[in-house]
A and B are shown apart, each in its own frame.
Chain A
Amino acid sequence: MTDVERLFRTYNAALVRYLTRRLGDRDWAEEVAQETFVRALRQTSIQNERAWLFAVATNLVRDEARKDVRRRKHLALLAEQERESAVEPEETTLERAQEAAMARKAVDALAERDRLALLMREEGLDYNEIAEALELSPGSVGTTLSRARRRLVESYEALQKSREEREKNAAS
């Protein structure tokens, strides 16, 4: 097994999940993850593999996003609207879709650095790895994460609340 194979087997799932959460599109996420491993191929040595992979993936997204951020935002918005307006046959599915849409909104509302730190943490990166990948000082990771979590949860709950109110109004 080559080194890249090992890297792939070890980190692909986490990387794709991280990117999916980050991007909201699994295809895109897989694409970026693949490109990340391709970059790894060219690397002679990588010190901290996980931090390196997540950093490269993050930068790939950033570079690409910079190119056509507006187009993607628009499309993502359209997709979201479509999801929200879609009438799902099953309530559970609808419920889940709404949760996903709210989660997306809440995550998107975070500052980029907070969002990335949080998503990396969720994939098991430790504070040093997060600091390395995001070029933060290790001491600030705790603060970054605590802020990210609080904001995420608060904005999600706010969305939840306004949805409940909408539903209540619609019912009455």
Chain B
Amino acid sequence: MQHLDEGTIHSWLDGALNAEEAARVEAHVKECAQCQAAVAEARGFIAASSRILTALDNAPRGVIPAAVPKRRLDPMVWRIAASVLVVALGSVLVIRERGIGEKIYTTTESPDTVSASAPPVTVLSNQKPAAAPQSANAGSGKREAGSVGQNRSQAAAVATTPTRVAAPSPASVGGGNAAPRQDLNKAAAVPQVTAQNAPGRFEAAAAGRGSAVPSMDAMADEQPVRVVGRPRALGEKLTLYEVAPGDTVMLAEQVEMELQSVVVTGAGVSLQGATAAAAPEAKRAAKLAPTQDTQRSAQAQAPAPPAVSVSFAQTPDGTATLTWRDSASGKVMRLSGHHTRAELEEIRRRIERARTAAADSVKKDR
């Protein structure tokens, strides 16, 4: 018998030969030293190649870049950068135009507006001087963020108004977490401080809270809420709405008839010390509530909700809850989050609008 070829040896070692062939190979190998060496070598190759291939099993993931979901941080960084820039620019413009000694109205452009995700809302509603300072409160800031969207032209317009004390809203940052906002505040703070006297503003803030609602109404109209998720929950239908970039709200509709609740989580966003313009002339109170800690602001005396019977409560951890009965469905709704009452009212309205709005508009937003 001639010597075994390599393929046959491998076939034999791999058990791929039929019984008859295998017996023949075996018999030959027993007697042929050369083929014994070849078999030994083949065994070595088989074992070595298995070992080599095993080294490939620790292959890293993502060697070939796939479509990686973008990290949320990125857009935020841009937003913050944009906001800071805009605030700074706006402040400079206004200061230049009005002079430091005067009351200054500054507008900031919200990153939202830049990104077009949130239509601009007019920050300065035309409230009469008599009206309480507008939106002094924390939550309003967010909306105002959008509103800030009004641009410089508006700022200019405002500037001409006899009473201009609006302060830039820190919230204008629009979306994100508290930290950026605070930075923004700092930036914004400079012009403000020069313009107004701080203590006054804070007092006004407190006062302003009560009156905040109406002004917020006005502002709210243009603010879209969009559905960003539908978490699963037992016995209820949950919908996550984004009321402002980075500010998410949860609407929980209980399947059982009674309770329909809306939960708002806006951790990063609440502005606490809504500051209203101190001066009486500050019709449009500065709405710049610095975003620090929200909880307290909630304690403020909230204005009586415009709608039906609504109750308001707040937990020690700062979560405020607004409860009411939906006029359409008769269901009890609950809205809660780190917001002031006025903000919750506003968010509630926005959500209600969004819910009634055509589904496509929601989709479009996404």
Contacts and interface: CB of A to CB of B under 8 A. Distances in A.
A, B bound: yes
Contacts of A100: 55-56, 58-59
Given A145-B7, A149-B49, A152-B49, 15 more contacts: A17-B57, A27-B62, A28-B66, A106-B52, A126-B16, A127-B11, A127-B14, A141-B16, A142-B10, A143-B5, A145-B11, A146-B9, A148-B49, A152-B48, A153-B44
| Chain B binding surface, main DSSP class | helix
A28 B49 contact: no
B53 interface: yes
B52 A146 contact: no
28 contacts: A20-B59, A21-B56, A21-B57, A23-B59, A23-B64, A24-B59, A25-B60, A26-B59, A26-B61, A75-B63, A83-B60, A103-B53, A106-B52, A107-B52, A107-B53, A118-B49, A122-B53, A127-B14, A127-B16, A142-B7, A142-B16, A143-B6, A144-B7, A145-B11, A149-B10, A150-B6, A152-B45, A156-B48
Instruction: Determine the interface band of chain B, counting residues with CB < 8 A from chain A.
Output: 20 to 34
A15 interface: no
B246 to A, nearest CB: 30
Nearest to A119: B53
Interface of B: 5-11, 14, 16, 42, 44-46, 48-50, 52-53, 55-66
B46 A149 contact: yes
A104 B52 CA distance: 9
A24 B56 contact: yes
B129 to A, nearest CB: 63
Interface residues on A, range: 35 or more
Taking chain A's interface residues, is the majority helix, strand, or loop, or is none over half, making it mixed?
helix
A146 B7 contact: yes
Contacts of B46: 149
B56 A146 contact: no
Interface string A1-41: 00000000000000001001101111111010000000000
B331 to A, nearest CB: 40
